[in-house]
Amino acid sequence: MHLTVIGGGVAGLTAALTAAEAGAQVTLYEAHHALGGRGRTAEGPYRANEGPHVFYTGPMWTWLRRRDLVGPVGRIPLRDAVTFRFRQHGAARALPPRGLVRLARTDLRKAPVDVDFLTWATGVAGAEAARAAANFTGVVAFHHDPGSLSAAFVQERLRRVTAMPPGARYLRGGWGQAIERMARRAREAGVRIETSARVDALPEAHGPVVVATSLAAARTLLGDDSLHGTSGRTALVDLGLANPRRGRRDAFIVSDLDAPGWVERFSATSSALAPAGRSLVQAQVPIAPGESKADGSARAEALFDLGYPGWRERVEWRGEALAQGRTGALDLPGTTWRDRPAIDRGDGVFLAGDQVAAPGLLGEVAFNSGRRAAELALRALRGTSSTEPTEPTEPTEPTEPTEPTEPLDLKVT
């Protein structure tokens, strides 16, 4: 029996590999010439991703590690870890405000779904700390006003990002390293992968299909106007910098607590991302409706001024982009991930991606929905009910979640 996957990003590759490991015949179609979607790593001397990209410990990381799909992992040198900077009231500081730390330690279960984060957090730690904490989570919300989002949604992200020991994991070759390994493993498992193969309509008399594209592309492909989600607009600014002179050190991270914004020197964890004697610095600044990419770039430059002395004279490469509706799902007050577009669309069609009804942080949504879509498609192939097992539950604490039990009854014969 055959399964079709449309889209070769994280969600599509996860779905294809999950199904192939269970014995299904799988064909994956990718419209672009390269796989990976937003997980691609640029070619060239500066190997940037589309905005700051890291993995976090949890089910996705465990799944990838068990299959040897991540490759060499970079570590943050101690000398760089101590160069974390926070911008507050226009000045750089080495430590976050105490109120932010207090909020980060607050039990996730105390954060309500139906109240915005700023209102709830103000009651816990005061208005200034609440605003700083909301802006800090801009690194994973990619939204110009994280405080307006659901308190439960933002608090989960705040705890994940501030977990101790840190949960962030860096790949020495960028996210593309994992994409390449996933694609190789999928082909070894028998998946037929076709790139530069745009699919404009579902095949006639198709078997189960996993549509692992953006919601906009899925809306057109499926003719389903209900496929909409809340996402953000973010200005992305990447720099290739000559390293500073002896005695001066660039910041590893600059986090803006006055407004959402984040800068990270990714070459600190992997020298392979930049030429010798150079640094790769990536910034993301969420921008509001009505603001332009230039507005975001100007705010990014203000953060560069705080963390990278003389950066203008040191620039050897610069890239800019605007990520619009490409930054993952956002949950407004009164909603959770369960209120996003459902994975099971009926008639053997299943949806996967980073804005659909699956839990997780950023790319974990794509991963979780890809696995779930594959599991449901496999049950459709076998003619069994798609209601078992139940949907994954939302985590009660954003520490190291256990990996979902591997399905034992999905083999296709």
What are the angstrom distances between the C-alpha of 125 and each of 97, 109, 111, 112, 132? 11, 16, 13, 15, 11
Angle at 54 between CA 113 and CA 83, to 5 degrees: 100
| 203, two tokens | 């095949």
Range list for CATH 3.50.50.60 in the chain: 2-71+172-228+336-382
DSSP state of 191: -
Supply the pLDDT for residue 285: 97
**Residues 361-411: tens digit of each pLDDT:** 999 999 999 999 999 999 998 886 544 444 444 443 444 333 333 333 344
Beta-carbon contacts of 276 under 8 Å, excluding residues fewer than 6 positions away, are none
DSSP state of 327: S
Residue 72 CA to residue 134 CA, distance in Å, equals 33
- CATH 3.90.660.50 domain range(s) in the chain: 77-165+233-324
CATH 2.60.40.10 holds for 77-165+233-324: no
CA–CA separation, 176 vs 266, rounded Å?
14
**What phi, psi does 311 have (nearest 5°)?**
-60, -30
Q: Across the chain, what does the average pLDDT equal?
A: 90
Q: Are 263 and 307 in contact (CB under 8 A)?
A: yes
> What is the SS3 assignment for 282?
strand
Please tell me the predicted confidence (pLDDT) of residue 246: 63
Average pLDDT over residues 164-171: 91
Q: Residues of the chain with pLDDT > 70: what percent?
A: 92
Asked if 24 and 381 touch (Cβ cutoff 8 Å), the reply is: yes
Query: What's the pLDDT score for residue 43?
Result: 87
Q: What pLDDT is stored for residue 396 in this prediction?
A: 38
Look at 117 and 206; give whichever has higher pLDDT: 117
Model confidence at 26, in pLDDT bands (50, 70, 90)? very high
pLDDT tens, position by position, 303-350: 999 999 999 999 999 999 999 877 789 999 999 999 999 999 999 999
Residue 154: closest CA among 205, 79, 103: 103
Best CA proximity match to 80, nearest among 253, 238, 248: 253
Instruction: Check residues 404 and 177 and name the one with the higher pLDDT.
Output: 177
pLDDT confidence of residue 205: 64
- Residue 82 makes CB contacts below 8 A (sequence gap 6+) with none
Q: Which of 171, 183, 395 lies closest to 266, judged by CA?
A: 171
Q: Give residue-wise pLDDT tens across range 131-157.
A: 999 999 999 999 999 999 999 999 999
**Secondary structure string (H, E, C) spanning 45-77:** CCCCECCCCCEECCHHHHHHHHCCCCCCEECCC
pLDDT at 206: 66
Closest-CA residue to 258 (of 137, 161, 133, 132): 132
3-state secondary structure of 255: strand
Q: How far is the C-alpha of 199 from the C-alpha of 7, rounded, in Å?
A: 9
CA–CA distance, 272 with 75 (Å, rounded to integer) = 13
pLDDT, tens digit, for every residue of 270-304?
Answer: 999 999 999 999 999 999 999 999 999 999 999 99
Q: Read off the pLDDT of each residue in 244-266 and give the average, rounded to a whole number.
A: 90
Residue 279 confidence (pLDDT): 96
| CB distance 210 to 12 below 8 Å | yes
Query: If you classify domain 2-71+172-228+336-382 with CATH, what class do you get?
Result: alpha beta
| Residue with tokens 């699956």, as numbered in its chain | 358
CB burial readout 160-191, b (16+ within 10 A) else e: bbbbeeebbbbbbbbbbbbbbbbbebbeebeb
Stronger pLDDT, 406 or 80, i.e. the higher one:
80
Q: Which residue is listed with tokens 């610069």?
A: 318
Please tell me whether the peptide bond between 165 and the residue prior to it is cis, using omega within 30 degrees of 0.
Answer: yes
Residues 377 and 35 sit within 8 Å (Cβ to Cβ): no
* DSSP of 357-412: S--SSTHHHHHHHHHHHHHHHHHHHHT--TT-SPPPPPPSS-S-PPPPPPPSS---
